[in-house]
Amino acid sequence: MKTTVYLAIGSNIGELSKNLDQAVQAVDALEGTKVTKRSANLSNAAYGVTDQDDFLNGVIEIITDLAPLDLLKAIKKIEKEMGRTETYRWGPRLIDIDIIFYGDKVLDSQELTIPHIDMVNRDFVLGPLKEIAPNKMHPIYKKTVSELYQDLIDRNQ
């Protein structure tokens, strides 16, 4: 069964725009998966560990037959094949691909939490997500992406 999924993509090493394009193409090439929407890229300061280069971020909408953990394995493989190496939490990344929403599924396992646990604190996720899915409802908070984005803006003022 096809499920609509939202993935956040980001890079702060190398040719950032090219890295995002390559990641989108690789996701689109996954079996049973098609990229259906893509936000504009957003440049922003690093999150968490801020003494590193700025990131370029975006969000894509896909439809996929892959189950959540199979999709996670597939995107981790893409990251590795593109040259990502593990450094430290919130460290520099050639490419980072995160599952934000998987349909309306709520999942909390050791390997994966859906919806993404920290998405409501990240303007670089909510901004691009709002561009392509403003009315997507968060299954836990029961608010739309637009409402979550406005809440974040209000909190940061």
Residues taking part in catalysis: 84, 93, 96, 98
Helices (H), 29-67: none
Residues in the chain: 157
Residues 6+ apart with CB under 8 A from 103: 3, 4, 5
For 34: left if phi > 0, alpha if psi spans -120 to 50, otherwise beta; the answer is beta
135-138-141-145 Cα dihedral, nearest 10 degrees: -40
Residues 6+ apart with CB under 8 A from 24: 9, 35, 38, 60
Question: How many Å apart are CA 68 and CA 47, to the nearest integer?
Answer: 25
